[in-house]
Amino acid sequence: MFKALALVGAVTAGMAGVAQADPIKVGYVEFPPYSYTDNGKPAGSLIETLQKVAADQGIELAIESVPARRLMAALPLGELDLFLGVKTAKEFEGTTLASANPIDTVEMNAYALNEAPAVKVKEDLAGKAVIALNGFSLGGWRAWMEDPANKVTLVDARTTEQALALLEAGRAPVFIQWSKPVQTALAAKPMPALKTTSISSTPVYFVVSKKAPGAEALMAKLEAGFQKLKASGALK
């Protein structure tokens, strides 16, 4: 009995420590409409989800926009505590905790002009020129395309809008990207000739650095808050 009470006390103390510690350092990439900066403030569907969960669980956040490559390096080192995104980056192996269940799903497509691109698997891109945003892993597709053995000519873009412009300019016949950022770009500048092939559906997770203060307790609070708000209908 004493041991059980001691264990409960230790867990409770750990959970309380998350709320009382310094703000949780959250990194996000410019990935509208999931996460982006609007008038100097973090915005987007994933940011809103996190803010609701944090408010419910009494977690203070310090949220900043971080370039994708820096984020991939900073999270394992503990320079950032939390990221909402894919859990499969090689930098995260053994260095992070991921939530047991996804909190959202993002769709990835191949885009081309006039005809839907014949792309279903990575191997369909072998020997081709492909436009992709610099710094995004694309669920492992980027690493495959960067492998010289696959003979892919990568045409880097900084933004989705720039990538679509490169596609229109004929710099490469195919553009690989998540669906919602393209939808956002097309809402501002339609491209009637753009055709789409669905490639994959990728789950999004809470990803916590193992070096974050009270990492396991933090993850427990995030998961509990998400499930509570999801069940109540406060999260779609």
Domain ranges in the chain are 2-104+203-232, 107-202
Say yes or no: do domains 2-104+203-232 and 107-202 share a fold.
yes
Rounded Cα distance, 28 and 131, in Å: 22
**What is the CB-side half-sphere exposure of residue 72 using CA atoms within 13 A?**
13
Radius of gyration of the chain (CA): 20
CATH superfamily of 2-104+203-232: Periplasmic binding protein-like II (3.40.190.10)
pLDDT (0 to 100) of residue 57:
97
Q: For residues 168 and 189, is the Cβ–Cβ distance under 8 A?
A: no
In this predicted model, what pLDDT tens digit does every residue of 28-65 receive, in sequence order? 998 878 899 999 999 999 999 999 999 999 999 999 99
Strand 129-133 to strand 174-178: parallel, antiparallel, or no bridges (unpaired)?
parallel
pLDDT (0 to 100) of residue 21:
59
**What is the CB-side half-sphere exposure of residue 132 using CA atoms within 13 A?**
24
Rounded Cα distance, 84 and 214, in Å: 18
Low-confidence stretches of the chain (pLDDT beneath 50): 1-20
Per CATH, domain 107-202 is 3.30.1360.120: no
Rounded Cα distance, 23 and 61, in Å: 5
